[in-house]
A and B are shown apart, each in its own frame.
Chain A
Amino acid sequence: MILPWIPLLALLGVVVPLLTRQRGRRFCSLATAAPAALALLLVLSQVPTLLAGDLPRFQLAWVPQLGLDLAFRLDGLSLLFASLILGIGLLILLYAHYYLEAHEPFARFYSFLMLFMLSMVGIVMADNLLLLWLFWELTSLSSFLLIGFWSHWTDARKGARMALTVTGAGGLALLAGLLLLGDMAGSFDLGVVLESREAILADPRYPIMLVLVLLGAFTKSAQFPFHFWLPHAMAAPTPVSAYLHSATMVKAGIFLMARLHPAIAGSEAWELIVTLTGMATLLYGAWFALLKTDLKAILAFSTVSHLGLITVLLGIGSPLAILAALFHILNHATFKAALFMSAGIIDHETGVRELGRLGGLRRAMPITALLTSITAAAMAGVPLFNGFLSKEMFFAEAAASPLLGGLSWLLPVLATLGGILSVAYSLRLVHAVFFKPARKETPRSPHEPPRLMRAPVELLAALCILVGLLPVIAEVPLGLAVEAVLLTPLEFHLAIWHGLNLPLLMSAIALIAGVLLYALHDHLRQFGRQFAPMDARLVFEAAVQRLAATSQRLTTRLENGSLQRYMSWLLGAALLLGAVGLLQLPSLAGARPTQEADGILLLGAALLIFGALGTVATHRYRLISLLMLSVVGLVVSLTFARFSAPDLALTQLSVEVVTMILLMLALFFLPQKTPRESSAGRNIRDLGLAASLGMVVASLNYAVLTRDNHGISDFFIANSVPGGGGHNVVNVILVDFRGFDTLGEITVLALAGLAIFKLLNRLRLFMPHSDGEGRVWSPDRYPLILTSVSQALLPLALLVSAFIFLRGHNLPGGGFIAGLITAVALILVYMARGVEWTQVRLDFQYQPVAIAGVAIATLTGLGSWLFGRPFLTSAFGHFHIPAIGDIELATAMLFDLGVYLAVVGATLMILANLGKLTTPHRPSKEEKH
């Protein structure tokens, strides 16, 4: 299996420079180039397989639930792009070796570059839509790192941010589009998608999907109106510009359109959107390339323009147009990368990139001048260079396209116009830098670059001529790539001379008019200057800041720090959702017959309502309110008892006791009365909100109660004895069926205890010497009766809790209830005797008890692993113990012991620590030792 090694080698290349940077730049550069070169060889080694008509594929399930596979393919299109990416990447590495200054962190740069290479190779080889998208996002991220490489420089940071925002937003659109596409095709597998053209085009969601996918492609490939990030990305070091922004990354969008061409292209919407966007981009880019004065900006805009050209061809979509598009991708990568590197050399050797300050470099840098002229001629489409061939094919296809119906002559006219502009800016580039007499001294005295720095440019320039003279050599890779896009082989022949025809005429017009245009371009630039310059970066930054300011304003409006306001928003939302849900019920009452209420029930309900209303009515007088609350709590526990839930009744009763003690203790430290501070309007609003929610709750409850429920409880009842070994189903659920939940719950309990312990740590509170009415506390601190009763009660209570604990598995009871009873009994002792007295006799901390409880429960669960069972599997059996008789023991009981200890520990941790605060003399650790 060779395929996965190609991205893996690139991945290796990411790590290598970081590992070898200590050994010097030369070694590091070579070590980084090695895996890339090997990957290139592997790619090329697949050519015979492809020529034999096979399609190398590799597939490994990654997240099958999502349809995401680690799948790679290497068809002709992938091969073309992968060799481009790896080949030019190698040249860029060589160039960067000389380009970066000595003090710059070259290893990091190489690493970013290789990361980018990896993600590009991933895009072009991905055989799964989601995988493709992942690599797509990775290119956005790695290009962000590369553009912002000179992070000390504001322009670099802003350019990087802009590129990331635009391409990242496009990436999100693409994700949505690809998800839709996968859904339409029924699979994310590229092979399936490419063969589902009919289904996709017929799908009603096709236009949405198309727009989303194209948004991704257009943002990445800098198509108008998303082109603006590309010129600003030129703040990157030149090797990056040459690699990302001419040869590879900006081609990713083009690649995507070509890749998905068999599946989504060919509709009228596709032709119109893609062709017209491409044409607008072509002209817009070419126009600004002519006006700009910065060397790299010219190249950036010309790149935008050429990308538009390729897009037009993909939009036209005829087999020959596809061929022309692929051919131009190849040619553009060759001459544009070379041009960028030449620009970098000029910048590097002279210290400037402004056309106005350059000139006459022909003398100082004759070879560079020659190379630049060759590649610029290729860009302009001068005959005998490679750019000429693809550009002429472009003219031919534009002329032949039936798009726009009666206006179809517009396309070739605009194409020729683009050609004219392209000749003009190419000519200007060469002439202004090398031939026009110099006006100013450059910061550095210009000279030729190191031999090897120029080598990549030389190689690429040679290719420009070679392909230009002998186009036959490009036929094999292009044939394979075209076959991959069209899904059928295409018979074609690349030739320089096609006879006297329309495209040739268009080329001739472009050449002649282009030269004329350059001669006149000073006037044009004067004309262009009349328009207010629009700096895309300023517009972008302003938009970003407006967005941030708006969200800031919105946030401060919504989030003003008032918890009451948040609460009312929350409740309002709950009310809305609940009411909407209720509205959808056909009728409130369900089919289940209701039961008669008897007098006791009426009395209970009246008590509950009285208690609740009383709690609210007296809420300013906190102690009375608390007493009212306890009425509610007690009647609730009676309610549980009435409706066949003895376990709940017991739990509620013991919790009620603990809660009341807790709240009373807390109230001791808090104001006894609540001031009257809510406005009448506020009170009415709150009343309205609470009352409406209460009605929603009541309706909902009634609706549920009058309907039959088909729960899963029958399973628990049926399996309680055979599966859990217990007769009390509630307890069996707690410690066995849903033991994992219970484990979570006691953990929360213990954590709450610990948190409270820490909150109370070093808390110093004002201790009132009298109650709210000014009455001093009773001097009788520990009443005698309570003291004696509690002493007698303690062993009894412990006995009861042991009893409740032991019977819990079969009768009402269990660890929770037993724990609460023990806690209550101990708290009673604290209350009767005071903290100090009790502390002496119960000389241990409660934190370890709670933690031990959680630990025992966890270990019980882990124990089942020893027997090869899943976590928390319980076991039980009957044992005969002499003198006691038959007894049934289950591991669940051990788990319940953990619950018991956690409850005791946590409850006492809370109450005993709080209680300590009430003693004026707090025994501290320092005094003990």
Chain B
Amino acid sequence: MESLYAVTTGVLSACGLFLTLRGRTFPVVVGLTLLSYAVNLFLFSMGGLTTDGAVIVDGPSDYADPLPQALVLTAIVIGFAMTAFAVILAMRARGDLGNDHVDGEDNREDRSS
């Protein structure tokens, strides 16, 4: 189970990172979102994987680790704010610059190695 979980976060991060390396804004935003899923899963697993537990005192006796959960909860919400900011920045850039390349000008991706 642990290896399966680890492989999944690995694939998710790899896919997210590949997309963040693209040259157009929208795939980069999608990549960031994907990456934040991966990061949230990764951070969440810091407390170990608990099945059929909970973090309710006086509930089930098998407690999950509450601290990563609390951290990830806010991370999810902040991640949304960040995605929103990035995508709206991308829109603004397109509106002001007339294209959706991350550098603000077309056809410069392969200029750099």
Contacts and interface: CB of A to CB of B under 8 A. Distances in A.
A283 to B, nearest CB: 55
A812 B66 CA distance: 12
B77 A728 contact: no
A560 B113 CA distance: 11
A712 interface: yes
**What band does the interface of chain B fall in when counting residues whose beta carbon is under 8 Å from A?**
35 or more
Nearest to A616: B15
**What band does the interface of chain A fall in when counting residues whose beta carbon is under 8 Å from B?**
35 or more
A554 B43 CA distance: 37
Interface string B1-37: 1111111111111111111111111110110011001
Interface in B36-65: 37-38, 40-42, 44-59, 62-65
Contacts of B87: 662-663, 666
A902 to B, nearest CB: 10
B112 A560 contact: yes
A760 interface: yes
Quick one: which of A592, A675, A738, A753 has the most chain B CB within 10 A? Answer: A675
Interface in A571-589: 571
Given A560-B112, A615-B30, A690-B17, A701 B56 contact: no
A756 B108 CA distance: 28
A562 B110 CA distance: 10
A208 interface: no
B27 to A, nearest CB: 5
B88 interface: yes
A645 B64 contact: yes
Nearest to A633: B37
Given A594-B1, A636-B37, A701-B42, A730 B95 contact: no
A535 interface: no
B9 A698 contact: yes
Interface stretch (A150-158, A376-384, A605-613, A871-879): A605-613
B12 A644 contact: no
Given A651-B77, A701-B10, A706-B2, A810 B91 contact: no
Contact of A643 (B40, B49, B100): B49
Contact of B8 (A568, A608, A659, A816): A608
A759 B77 contact: no
A516 interface: no
A647 interface: yes
A644 B54 contact: yes
A640 B108 CA distance: 41
A632 B12 contact: yes
Given A697-B13, A705-B6, A670 B94 contact: yes
A682 B109 contact: yes
Given A666-B87, A674-B22, A705-B48, A748 B81 contact: yes
Interface string A732-752: 011000100110010011001
A689 interface: yes
B30 A663 contact: yes
Given A690-B17, A734-B70, A910-B84, A562 B108 contact: yes
Contacts of B1: 594-597, 601
Quick one: which of B10, B24, B25 has the most chain A CB within 10 A? Answer: B10
B83 A662 contact: yes
A727 interface: yes
B44 A756 contact: no
A694 B22 contact: no
A639 B41 contact: yes
Nearest to B74: A745
Nearest to A728: B56
Contacts of B95: 669, 763-765
Interface in A623-670: 625-626, 629, 632-633, 636, 639-640, 642-648, 651-652, 655, 658-659, 662-663, 666-667, 669-670
B59 to A, nearest CB: 7
B2 A734 contact: no
A622 interface: yes
A357 interface: no
A564 B108 CA distance: 10
Interface in B73-95: 73-74, 76-85, 87-92, 94-95
Given A636-B37, A716-B66, A727-B58, A705 B49 contact: yes
B44 A702 contact: no
Contact of B73 (A592, A608, A626, A734): A734
B89 A677 contact: no
A41 interface: no
A698 B42 CA distance: 9
A567 B70 CA distance: 30
Contacts of A914: 88
B14 A677 contact: no
A816 B67 contact: no
A704 interface: yes
B77 A745 contact: yes
B30 to A, nearest CB: 6
A679 interface: yes
A623 to B, nearest CB: 10
Contacts of B38: 697
Contact of A682 (B77, B103, B110): B110
A756 B33 CA distance: 18
Contacts of B23: 564, 677-678
Contacts of A659: 33, 80, 83-84
A38 interface: no
B44 to A, nearest CB: 7
Quick one: which of B3, B11, B79 has the most chain A CB within 10 A? Answer: B11
A459 interface: no
B5 A903 contact: no
A730 B14 contact: no
Contacts of B80: 655, 658-659, 662, 907
A572 to B, nearest CB: 11
Contact of B27 (A596, A674, A738): A674
Contacts of A704: 45-46
B45 to A, nearest CB: 6
Given A694-B14, A713-B66, A644 B53 contact: yes
Nearest to A741: B74
Given A655-B80, A690-B17, A733 B67 contact: yes
A729 B78 contact: no
Nearest to A714: B63
A687 interface: yes
Interface string A518-529: 000000000000
A563 interface: yes
Contacts of B17: 571, 689-690, 693-694
B18 A690 contact: yes
Quick one: which of B3, B40, B70 has the most chain A CB within 10 A? Answer: B70
A711 interface: yes
A183 to B, nearest CB: 37
A648 B51 contact: no
Interface of A: 560-565, 567-568, 571, 592, 594-597, 601-602, 605, 608-609, 612-613, 615-616, 619, 622, 625-626, 629, 632-633, 636, 639-640, 642-648, 651-652, 655, 658-659, 662-663, 666-667, 669-671, 674-675, 677-679, 682, 686-687, 689-691, 693-695, 697-702, 704-706, 709, 711-713, 716-717, 720-721, 727-730, 733-734, 738, 741-742, 745, 748-749, 752-753, 755-756, 759-760, 763-765, 810-812, 816, 820, 903, 906-907, 910, 914
A-B pairs with the 4 shortest C-beta distances? A694-B14, A698-B10, A690-B18, A702-B6
9 contacts: A643-B44, A643-B45, A644-B54, A644-B64, A699-B6, A701-B6, A717-B55, A760-B92, A820-B77
Given A655-B76, A713-B65, 16 more contacts: A562-B111, A633-B33, A642-B51, A645-B55, A659-B33, A663-B29, A667-B26, A678-B22, A690-B18, A697-B42, A730-B66, A730-B69, A733-B67, A752-B81, A910-B84, A910-B88
